[in-house]
Structure 1
């Protein structure tokens, strides 16, 4: 569970709710027609802009903003030094039993290609293609949420126009002015809140998560290539350290 995502949403909506409660009745901010305009319009525009499969997969993408756990880059260094030492002492085939214990599909694939005796250059081409596709999938999810962040305020403005039109049509009926004006203002409120508290921040979180995961994948690729070339574990350590900030770099001294 990503605490910062959950905590950020709770803090934002909690403070909004508190300020609304202190200023009056929260019920005045609940408007079903306004919610339909903003949510329905945002979802509809997103479906027009992206293939249906991408939109339907958005639930899984959003889940990554809350649940995705990226492996610690420092632990990757320790892991590959162990692999390299084992391969140098017992041969590359000694890593075959290790593969069965690996959970990460990317790492498992890379180690299997190495054990199968594939050339380092071929391994690099295959694994870099894998990274590229992973990055593209992550970018698509973040782009969809970013687009929803742009659509939501626009739908709020459409709702405002609808509310104003309804209000102007019934100026001779004072009882109808209030509900129409509520739609006009609440839709803008809903659109801005959804965009700036949920959609745009989640898009940013997914982009950050993607960078972290790609960094780990690049480190794995570097380690796999080093093992396939039979390089010294000390060299692997130094190469991995170049990916990490100084304060978490591994030192063999």
Structure 2
């Protein structure tokens, strides 16, 4: 669980609500169902329109990463690669076959299988780098969904504001209806700008950062597996891979 993300969300909304309270406002004044429908529905619809189905499913599944990011233990990965190197030095590359079958990480498993199959180091690098690039681009595309929502939300909020003003202008002769129109106008703007800057854009940035970290983790595996294929000393491999720990 990422406590920093939880604290960030709570702090952001507490600052807005608390500031409103200190200025004499009430929470009820910030609650407006029509404005929420306009902003949330319009923003989601616009983002869905531009997003392919597979990217949309991935964006929904990656949302949990914001509060529960994938565990990327770089130090443990270095130790694991060194153990593979020691096994390869003692038993040969075929000695890694059992480890490949037991490896839970599909990316590392694929690299080990390439080693066992006797694939040339340059071919291993080419195969694994292509897959790593595709996986990184896939994760970035998932983040773009929230980026797009963050871009649309303020504009949809303005549309909601204009709709509220239209209602106000059409009911100038009936003062009892002016309040609801003005409320929609201002609250819709707050919803659009607030959701974009407190939730949607930060979520997109967080997912992009996690995609970058996962790509670095795969780079560690690539360098380690290539080093084993080239017959490097396990101690030298460890020293090389320790560079990934200074991220």
Alignment TM-score, normalising by the size of structure 2: 0.94
1:132 aligns to what? 133
| Structure 2 SS opposite 1:100 | helix
User: Structure 2 matches for 1:52-201, cutoff 5 A?
Assistant: 52-201=53-202
> How many Å separate the matches in 1 of 2:173 and 2:222?
72
1:17 aligns to what? 17
Distance 1:212 1:194, change over 3 A: same
> How many Å separate the matches in 2 of 1:239 and 1:146?
36
| Structure 2 SS opposite 1:145 | helix
CA RMSD of aligned residues (A): 1.6
| Structure 1 SS opposite 2:244 | coil
After superposition, the C-alpha distances for 1:65-84 in whole angstroms (9 at most, x for unaligned) are: 22222422222221111111
> How many Å separate the matches in 1 of 2:64 and 2:244?
27
> How many Å separate the matches in 1 of 2:145 and 2:164?
28
User: Structure 2 matches for 1:36-47, cutoff 5 A?
Assistant: 36-47=37-48
**Post-superposition shift, 1:21?**
4.2
Stretch of structure 1 that moved more, 229-238 or 193-202? 229-238
Contact map agreement 2:168 2:181 (CA 8 A) in 1: yes
1:205 aligns to what? 206
Stretch of structure 1 that moved more, 18-27 or 112-121? 18-27
Structure 2 unaligned spans of 5+ = none
Contact map agreement 1:124 1:225 (CA 8 A) in 2: yes
2:223 aligns to what? 222
> How many Å separate the matches in 1 of 2:25 and 2:75?
51
Contact map agreement 1:219 1:240 (CA 8 A) in 2: yes
Contact map agreement 1:70 1:213 (CA 8 A) in 2: no
Equivalent pairs counted in the alignment come to: 246
1:7 aligns to what? 7
> How many Å separate the matches in 2 of 1:57 and 1:73?
24
> How many Å separate the matches in 1 of 2:54 and 2:116?
36
Stretch of structure 1 that moved more, 2-11 or 22-31? 22-31
Distance 1:119 1:4, change over 3 A: same
Structure 1 unaligned spans of 5+ = 249-253
**Post-superposition shift, 1:106?**
0.6
1:251 aligns to what? none
Contact map agreement 2:43 2:149 (CA 8 A) in 1: yes
Contact map agreement 1:93 1:115 (CA 8 A) in 2: yes
Contact map agreement 1:70 1:209 (CA 8 A) in 2: no
